[in-house]
A and B are shown apart, each in its own frame.
Chain A
Amino acid sequence: MISLTRRYRFSASHRLHSPLLSEAENDGVYGKCNNPYGHGHDYTLELTIGGDLDPATGLLMPLMDLDRFVSEKILRLFSHRNINVDVPDFADLVPTTENVARVIARIVERHWAEWFGNLQIRVARVHLQETDRNGFELVLAAPKLQNSAVERIESVVVHA
């Protein structure tokens, strides 16, 4: 089995605050991350793709195509943005890195077929590093017909 992992970087700000909690509870749960003005990180995103290698080219897919996809669908959305304010998915969702990783996985799954439906290549893993010390990982199950994107997320691994 062969897979290829590509790393991307983006810088963004966020604030962790849940409308379901009181001010005191938000402060207790999120601590410094609850600062009303927000704060930022240099995120590192890893996408792992798997599938059959094209025997003629020795490629899973042209790397430029993957880069263009990530640039248009992910980086353009998050890079140098305030995630709470600028990314619509977080209007009602706390932008913890768990949730950011999950949203990225959903965006990838939503658009993958329209971009690369002709290839027998799929995204097998999304790993999002918030800092050098905190990383979050989604292992995506092999797609099944009629399955929703959410149900395809098989397991969440947290590296703290």
Chain B
Amino acid sequence: MFITRKAEFSASHFCRLASLSNEQNWALFGEEAHPSGHGHNFVLEVSVEGEPDPVTGMIVDLKELKEILEGEIVAPMDHRFLNYEVEPFGRIVPTVANIALEIWRRLEKRFCAAQFHLARVRLFETPDLYVDVVGSASV
């Protein structure tokens, strides 16, 4: 059984590689490459898989889930410029896929109990674009 919790954060970023020309960056990243940066209202859906505890009837305490998302993701990323303020995006391009993978890495270690584990991270960059990280992703 899966439980999915939603969280939102707004952050700015840009996507470009210093090793490439301006034209090459635009061909790869489009408007996301503008060096001044721009922002999105990211919407995060985190799914945890497990069986409900026979006593509590819960897979995982929702309060705990909410606090983990707040501590690991929302507090460090909300209203931040990802390239300058959030690791590892000083070194790797904060594409929506890389942000989703970083969220997976941060949450994976927090959701690996005997009873439940992280099953899916879905990150919407806009209402028309999202990335799913499923299972044991390691890129």
A157 within 8 A of B: no
Q: Are B97 and A62 in contact (CB under 8 A)?
A: no
Task: Report 9 cross-chain contacts, Cβ distance below 8 Å, ordered by A residue.
Answer: A1-B133, A2-B134, A4-B132, A5-B130, A53-B97, A58-B92, A59-B29, A62-B30, A64-B27
A7 within 8 A of B: yes
Question: Dominant SS at the B interface?
Answer: mixed
A3 within 8 A of B: yes
Q: Are B139 and A55 in contact (CB under 8 A)?
A: yes
Interface centre among B17, B101, B132 (most CB of A within 10 A): B132
B88-105 to A contact mask, C-beta < 8 Å, 1/0: 000011111110110000
With known contacts A1-B137, A2-B97, A62–B129 Cβ distance under 8 A: no
Partner of A4, one of B30, B131, B137: B131
Beta-carbon contacts under 8 Å, B121-137 to A: 127-135, 137
Beta-carbon contacts under 8 Å, A54-110 to B: 55-60, 62-64
Q: Are A1 and B29 in contact (CB under 8 A)?
A: no
A6 within 8 A of B: yes
A4 to B135 alpha-carbon distance, docked (Å): 15
- Closest B-chain residue to A60, C-beta based? B97
Chain A residue total in the interface (Cβ 8 A): 20
Chain B residue total in the interface (Cβ 8 A): 26
| Interchain nearest-CB distance for A81 vs B (Å) | 22
Residues of A with C-beta under 8 A to B137: 1-2
Beyond contacts A52-B139, A57-B17, A57-B93: 14 other A-B pairs, Cβ-Cβ < 8 A, are: A2-B100, A2-B101, A2-B134, A3-B131, A6-B129, A7-B127, A8-B128, A57-B29, A57-B95, A58-B93, A58-B95, A60-B97, A62-B30, A64-B30
B60 within 8 A of A: no
With known contacts A1-B137, A53-B139, A56-B17, A62–B28 Cβ distance under 8 A: yes
Q: Are B28 and A59 in contact (CB under 8 A)?
A: yes
- Closest A-chain residue to B120, C-beta based? A1
Q: Are B95 and A2 in contact (CB under 8 A)?
A: no
Residues of A with C-beta under 8 A to B92: 58
B15 within 8 A of A: yes
B76-98 to A contact mask, C-beta < 8 Å, 1/0: 00000000000000001111111
Q: Are A58 and B128 in contact (CB under 8 A)?
A: no
| Interchain nearest-CB distance for B38 vs A (Å) | 14
